[in-house]
Amino acid sequence: MLTLSSAVLNSFLYTRLPYDTRRDFAAVAEIGRSPNVVAVRPDHPARDIAGLIAAARAAPDTVTYGSGGNGTIVHLSTVLFSNMAGVRMQHVPFRGGGPALQALMGRQIDVMIDSLPVVLSQVREGTIRGIAVTSAQRLPQLPDLPTVQEAGLAGYETQNWFGVFAPVRTPAPIIERLAAEVRRLVADPECRRRLTEMGVEPVGSGPVDFTAFWDRELATWGPIVRASGATVE
């Protein structure tokens, strides 16, 4: 089971990986995708994406954003947002996503772009203020939040995802059998209900579609990681 981080981002972040992810693994089936939420501290003056961009433009490098560390999807999603919006914000990396979320709730940082399962309950409870979602469409879990694209930043979309992989030399019949079982499980109504409750959009794609999606993600995130300057030893 790999995610965006382990199947894509690590290929660009680690300078000495003992394997090549794309060469040594075979994509079996994608389970689901989890969009991010743009959230600000509860007392922040920005009520929407336009307000956040305006605040960052008015005072470059003073609006702070948190993450669970350099090179995480939370960090890189904000790098992409800043680049597309033409603003500069100050990155504050923490030792894990939990402390970063606590800092946002505690008004120690201004903004964070984190995954729906992580921040959903806090947004609903009002301990942080969600202002947009990073998916292409609005989410059923937070139907009142616009997408970042709706809010004016055309083309912006980020999400984490989860999928099953196998060693690259696994025989094709075994890959197909595994993929069929994953698709069967993801199609199960109870499984889909639980995934949706957790903030994961069920997908259940097979090897061909999942491999094509994986290659697109590698092409998308490589330049973003390099532009961020983030590395992991």
Give the per-residue pLDDT at 192. Answer: 96
Domain limits, the chain: 2-34+163-228, 35-133
* Averaged pLDDT for residues 104-119: 95
Count of CA atoms in the C-beta half-sphere (13 A) of 233: 0
Per-residue pLDDT of 1-50, as tens digits, reads: 999 999 999 999 998 889 999 999 999 999 999 999 999 999 999 999 99
Same fold, 2-34+163-228 and 35-133: yes
Which superfamily does CATH assign the domain made up of 2-34+163-228 to? Answer: Bordetella uptake gene, domain 1 (3.40.190.150)
The string of DSSP letters for 10-62 reads: HHHHBSS-SS-HHHHEEEEEEEEEEEEEEEE-TT-S--SHHHHHHHHHHSTTT
Q: How many Å is the Cα radius of gyration of the chain?
A: 18
The amino acid occupying position 43 is D
Non-local (6+) Cβ contacts of 2 within 8 A are 25, 162, 163, 164, 165
Which superfamily does CATH assign the domain made up of 35-133 to? Answer: Periplasmic binding protein-like II (3.40.190.10)
Give the per-residue pLDDT at 133. Answer: 97
Count of Cβ atoms closer than 10 Å to residue 161 Cβ: 24
Give the per-residue pLDDT at 198. Answer: 85
